[in-house]
């Protein structure tokens, strides 16, 4: 019974989506105007620079620039990184480390490139760009899905994004600001916005940069559920799911949760699990044979198994645009099966130590614990080092909102 409760606690954390860091490539730019040759002095200097950057991620403001080679030398390399203002030093270091490896793979043999992850940006060049306020390359994109009531949503988005500019520019350490707002026209929908400048910019230059990117973000496409515009000196982003960490002195107006998000639903699940455990214990004590149908139910576990390729296709290969949020064990993506059914696919982090048989046992358990207040488990996928749980997709927010019918009002924090 103790083991069952431990598994239940595991499943509670598995089903809950909260924002947390994950290294995800967002955008990249490779300048093809100048290239270097293999085993050249420039490549040697570039390798030295990229290897040195992660060790400086403990910088208090999450920004660092450096160079290798003599400044007057044509083989000198200049590089920098900027971490998103809300991430920890550990996340910053992990992101910069990954970026320093990925950037050469994304942009091989070029003398200038920039790589954006969700948590950091890394840039290198054969020119000194440290004091520049470059307006190129301008990168970014939008989620393909459209908002219900787009006109009202854009009014809220304009108002919320505008309130980011001055607070971000006036910060003395990390020049960033975030703001949440609730959208009353669609119950359960929240708006999450974020803007940041390079910390060495003056307040005036930061405001100018943010006004530029926000203007582009709000006019290029309208009515989308998410989007971002990225410049080397500043960026802005919005989503209808949490993608950053809210500061301790701030309160998020909404948190997108799929699964068990309220104490009531947790108690329901715990009660069902305890009932199941007690029934098994009672049968063992009375030396009563299990229902012969149980064996067939377990043997039918294979009917719950999806092909990983099917889940990849359903989620557009785990596209960032389909990402719903993060949990303690990995990201969750919205998808559509070939039959048209909407799903939420939770992709178990490859760093998890959970074994294959243990995972299947837990799938078998949670599949039996179906309840009208629980998100239905449709199945799982396990192959090619991928471990995925597939749930029915529950739109319009969290389970506690479905249970208690709460409606969010238009409110800016």
pLDDT for 385-408, tens place per residue? 788 888 888 775 544 444 444 333
User: What are the residue ranges spanned by the domains of the chain?
Assistant: 2-18+258-402, 25-125, 139-239
The reply to whether 2-18+258-402 and 139-239 are identical in fold is: no
The CATH H-level superfamily of 139-239 is Gnk2 domain, C-X8-C-X2-C motif (3.30.430.20)
pLDDT for 285-303, tens place per residue? 555 444 444 444 444 555 6
The CATH H-level superfamily of 2-18+258-402 is Phosphorylase Kinase; domain 1 (3.30.200.20)
Q: Which of 403, 302, 365 is nearest to 8 (CA)?
A: 365
Q: What is the DSSP string of 311-371?
A: HHHHTTTT-GGGEEEEETTEEEEEEE-TTS-EEEEEE--TT----HHHHHHHHHHHHH---
Q: What is residue 275's predicted lDDT score, i.e. its pLDDT?
A: 58
Tell me the two tokens of residue 147. Answer: 């908002």
Average pLDDT, the chain: 79
What's the topology of domain 25-125?
Killer Toxin P4; Chain A (3.30.430)
Q: What is residue 288's predicted lDDT score, i.e. its pLDDT?
A: 42
Whether 409 shows a pLDDT value over 70: the answer reads: no
Average of pLDDT values for 239-259? Answer: 60
With bands split at pLDDT 50, 70 and 90, how would you rate the model's confidence at 269? low
Provide the edge-to-edge strand list for the sheet that holds 377-383.
323-327, 330-336, 342-347, 386-392, 377-383
What percentage of residues in the chain have a pLDDT greater than 90?
Answer: 48
For the ranges 78-92, 113-127, 253-267, 340-354, the lowest mean pLDDT is seen at 253-267
Tell me the two tokens of residue 352. Answer: 């998890």
pLDDT for 167-206, tens place per residue? 999 998 899 999 999 988 876 789 999 999 999 999 999 9
Q: What is residue 2's predicted lDDT score, i.e. its pLDDT?
A: 47
For the ranges 19-28, 102-111, 177-186, 353-362, the lowest mean pLDDT is seen at 19-28
CA 262, 268, 274: angle at the middle one, nearest 5? 135
Whether 355 shows a pLDDT value over 50: the answer reads: yes
């Amino acid at each position: 019974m103790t083991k069952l409760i431990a598994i239940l606690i595991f499943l509670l954390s598995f089903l809950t989506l909260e924002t947390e860091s994950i290294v995800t490539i967002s955008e990249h730019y490779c300048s093809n105007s100048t290239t270097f040759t293999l085993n050249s002095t420039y490549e040697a200097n570039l390798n030295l620079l990229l290897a040195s950057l992660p060790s400086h991620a403990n910088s208090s403001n999450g920004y660092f620039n450096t160079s290798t080679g003599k400044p007057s030398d044509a083989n000198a390399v200049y590089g920098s990184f900027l971490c998103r203002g809300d991430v920890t030093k550990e996340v910053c270091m992990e992101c910069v480390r990954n970026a320093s490896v990925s950037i050469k793979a994304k942009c091989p043999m070029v003398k200038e490139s920039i790589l954006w992850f969700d948590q950091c940006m890394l840039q290198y060049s054969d020119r000194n760009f440290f004091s520049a306020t470059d307006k190129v390359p301008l990168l970014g994109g939008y989620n393909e899905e459209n908002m219900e009531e787009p006109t009202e949503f854009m009014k809220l988005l304009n108002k919320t994004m505008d309130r980011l500019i001055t607070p971000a520019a006036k910060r003395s350490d990390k020049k960033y600001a975030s703001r949440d707002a609730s959208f009353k026209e669609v119950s359960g929908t929240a708006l999450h916005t974020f803007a940041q400048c390079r910390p060495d910019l003056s307040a005036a230059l930061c405001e100018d940069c943010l006004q530029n990117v926000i203007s582009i973000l709000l006019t290029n496409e309208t009515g989308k559920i998410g989007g971002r515009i990225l410049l080397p000196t500043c960026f802005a982003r919005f989503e209808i799911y949490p993608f950053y960490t809210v500061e301790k002195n701030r309160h998020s107006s909404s948190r997108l949760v799929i699964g068990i998000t309220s104490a009531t639903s947790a108690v329901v699940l715990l009660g069902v699990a305890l009932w199941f455990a007690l029934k098994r214990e009672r049968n063992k004590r009375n030396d009563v044979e299990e229902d012969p149908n149980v064996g067939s139910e377990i043997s039918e576990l294979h009917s719950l198994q999806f092909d990983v390729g099917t889940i990849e296709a359903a989620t557009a290969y785990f596209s960032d645009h389909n990402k719903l949020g993060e949990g303690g064990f990995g990201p969750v993506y919205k998808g559509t099966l070939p039959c048209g059914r909407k799903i939420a696919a939770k992709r178990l982090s490859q760093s998890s130590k959970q074994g294959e048989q243990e995972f299947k046992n837990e799938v078998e358990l949670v599949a039996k614990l179906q309840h009208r207040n629980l998100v239905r488990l449709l199945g799982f996928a396990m192959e090619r080092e991928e471990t995925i749980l597939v749930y029915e997709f529950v739109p319009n927010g969290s389970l506690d909102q479905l249970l208690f019918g709460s409606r969010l009002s238009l409110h800016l924090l």
